[in-house]
C-alpha cells in the first residue's frame, strides 16, 4: 500500500512539474520529444511489462491465498488438522510460487524464448535455433 501511495504521489508531482515546465519554458520540453516510432515501441514495451507484472502478481496471490486463509483460520481460533488435505495443499502452493516466474517469462518474452531455443541448439546439435530440424 505505501508503494502505491508513493507511486501516485510521484506521478502527480511529475505531472504538475511537467505542466509548469510546458507553460514557463516550452523550449526545454523539446529536449524530451520522442519520435512516434520510438514512442509506439516504448508504449508496447511498457504494456508488455505491465501485463507481465500483473500476471506475476496474480500468480503470487493465487499461490499464497491458501496459506493466508489457513493463517486467518488459525488466528480466529479454528484449528485445522495438519494431516488433512488443506494444510499440505497450502504449503505446496507456497512452494509452487517459487517456481512459477520462469514459466511466466517463458510465455511472455520473445527474447527469453529465443535464448531457450539457442541453448537447446547448443545442447542438442540436431535441433536448430528456430526449433525445427
Residues 55, 105: Cα–Cα separation, whole Å: 10
Residue 41: predicted pLDDT: 63
The residue to which cell 515501441 is assigned: 41
101-133 pLDDT, tens digit per residue, is 888 888 888 887 888 888 888 887 765 555 555
> Residue ranges per domain, the chain?
60-133
* 22-41 pLDDT per residue, tens: 566 655 555 555 555 555 66
- SS3 for 84-116 is CCHHHHHHHHHHHHHHHHHHHHHHHCHHHHHHH
Between 43 and 66, the more confident residue is 66
pTM of the complete model: 0.53
**Separation of alpha carbons 121 and 133, rounded Å:** 10
SS3 (DSSP) at 23? helix
Amino acid at each position: 500500500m505505501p508503494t502505491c501511495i508513493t507511486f501516485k504521489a510521484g506521478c502527480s508531482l511529475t505531472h504538475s512539474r511537467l505542466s509548469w515546465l510546458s507553460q514557463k519554458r516550452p523550449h526545454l520540453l523539446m529536449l524530451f520529444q520522442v519520435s512516434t516510432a520510438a514512442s509506439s515501441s516504448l508504449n508496447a514495451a511498457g504494456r508488455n511489462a505491465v501485463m507481465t507484472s500483473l500476471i506475476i502478481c496474480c500468480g503470487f496471490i493465487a499461490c499464497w491465498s491458501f496459506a493466508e486463509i489457513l493463517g486467518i483460520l488459525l488466528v480466529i481460533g479454528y484449528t485445522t488438522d495438519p494431516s488433512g488435505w488443506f494444510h499440505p495443499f497450502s504449503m505446496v502452493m507456497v512452494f509452487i510460487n517459487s517456481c512459477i516466474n520462469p514459466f511466466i517469462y517463458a510465455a511472455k518474452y520473445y527474447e527469453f524464448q529465443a535464448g531457450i531455443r539457442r541453448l537447446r541448439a547448443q545442447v542438442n546439435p540436431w535441433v536448430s535455433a528456430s526449433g525445427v530440424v
